[in-house]
Amino acid sequence: MARILFLTQVLPYPLDSGAKIRAYYVLRHLSHRHEVTLVSFVRPDDRPESVAHLQQFCRAVHSVPMRRSLLRDARAGSIGLLTGRPIVIVRDEDRQMQRLLRQLMSAGPFDVVHADQTSMAQYALYARAQASHPTPRLLLDAHNALYRIPQRLASRESNPLRRRLFRREARALLRYELDLLHRFDRVVFVADQDREALQSANLHSAVIPICIDPADKRLIERVPDPGAITHLGTMFWPPNVEGVLWFARNVFPLVLEHLPDARLVVVGKDPPQDVEDLPLKVRNVQVTGYVPDPAPYLAETAAFIVPLHAAGGMRVKIVDAWCWGVPVVSTSIGAEGIALEDGENILIADTAAAFAQAVVRVLEDPALGERLRQNGRRWVEQHYNWRSTYTQWDEVYAQLP
């Protein structure tokens, strides 16, 4: 049994984002064999009952408030530009987190420091620097090759200044991530594409997909003749924003030409003004903001869309949608990193015209929608169940030096 210090950038409960789902089920698996202490940043909307839930299988749970503001963002931007460091990494530097880690490392030894996401790598390195002998081993669950996100955003950005900033951030993140590969004893990715993007196939790395618990997600009972086109995802993440705006402006009007009564529903936390304004500019669009339970919207969903053009890792929303039994239409990048069967459990389309055609097919052909629905659910049960797949984490831990 190892004593593990597990570091997360988001409190891994409730399970309302891909990052939380990944960390939560890894924690659940590791706690069966090891003694796990969780240290996490928390946001104002994180609730005490979420911490209490995590305490059921963690030895202890410690938290530090995540401080975010325009002033801190501006400071991080200035430091990043002056030093050549990634702005998203500088932004998360926090002295209170450092103080907590110093206290924990002095209170008792840990065998492994497990950093969840690249943003927590700096704290794993800091924790090891505070440790007395024996020095803990370091494991990074990178999730994805982070630099690919601003790199892809830059390729689609029309504003010259924003395009230049995205490219600069991509270069800084690439340098940072390549350096981390040599400072951690083991690195894990969620998809082969991300490991290959960082040229780490010959290093001490592994690929373990994000998994869920199909037993915890019931098959959604849909209303008769569902007609909604639904996008579900946090709307403060730039790739989601870009994807929704692209679909609403370029794809949805083509859908309306064939199906004038089609509805687009955008569900997700903190939509920016451009997304909030969509119902004023495009007919039959609804923007809900955050909803605690998406089930009523999913019950009316004929097509679950993932119109992403910039991403890394894998989109857990597709795995969730399969588990719920809602038909999925995605871009190639949106479905990247996921094992799939185009035409059997998902429809893949990349141009506006092809994406619109795929959505119309699902809305007009109930038999196609039902095939996608049933095949998707079976696919998750066979390939993305954490109870069977996450035994791979035992192999990773066994290989630590």
Per-residue pLDDT in tens (0 to 9) along the chain, 401 residues? 899 999 999 999 999 888 999 999 999 999 999 999 999 999 999 999 999 999 999 999 999 999 988 898 899 999 999 999 999 999 999 999 999 999 999 987 999 999 999 999 999 999 999 998 789 999 999 999 999 999 988 998 889 999 999 999 999 999 999 999 989 999 999 999 999 999 765 568 999 999 999 988 888 999 998 999 999 998 988 899 999 999 999 999 999 999 999 999 999 999 999 999 999 999 999 999 999 899 999 999 999 999 999 877 888 999 999 999 999 999 999 999 899 999 999 999 999 999 999 999 999 999 999 999 999 999 999 999 999 999 999 999 999 98
Chain center to CA of 155: 21
Tokens of 61: 């749970």
The answer to whether residues 281 and 245 touch, using CB atoms and an 8 Å cutoff, is no
CATH number at residue 52: 3.40.50.2000
Asked whether residue 304 falls in the same domain as residue 242, the answer is yes
Asked whether residue 93 falls in the same domain as residue 110, the answer is yes
Pairing of strands 301-306, 228-232: parallel
Asked whether residue 248 falls in the same domain as residue 193, the answer is no
pTM (2 d.p.): 0.87
User: 147: which residues sit within 8 A by CB, 6+ positions away?
Assistant: 169, 170, 171, 173, 174, 177, 197
Peptide bond before residue 209 is cis, with ω within 30 degrees of 0: no
Asked whether residue 201 falls in the same domain as residue 342, the answer is no
What angle, 0 to 180 degrees and rounded to 10, lies between the N-to-C axes of helices 18-31 and 316-324? 80
Asked whether residue 110 falls in the same domain as residue 19, the answer is yes
Asked whether residue 269 falls in the same domain as residue 302, the answer is yes
Asked whether residue 256 falls in the same domain as residue 207, the answer is no
Asked whether residue 58 falls in the same domain as residue 183, the answer is yes
Asked whether residue 128 falls in the same domain as residue 235, the answer is no
- Element housing 38 (H / E): strand 35-42
Domains in the chain, number: 2
Report residue 262: phi and psi, to 5°. -60, 145
Tokens of 123: 């704290």
Chain center to CA of 399: 26
Asked whether residue 63 falls in the same domain as residue 207, the answer is yes
Asked whether residue 130 falls in the same domain as residue 222, the answer is no
Range(s) of the domain holding residue 343? 215-383
Angle at 307 between CA 306 and CA 311, to 5 degrees: 85
Asked whether residue 199 falls in the same domain as residue 240, the answer is no
Rounded Cα distance between 266 and 261, Å, is 16
- Element housing 70 (H / E): helix 70-83
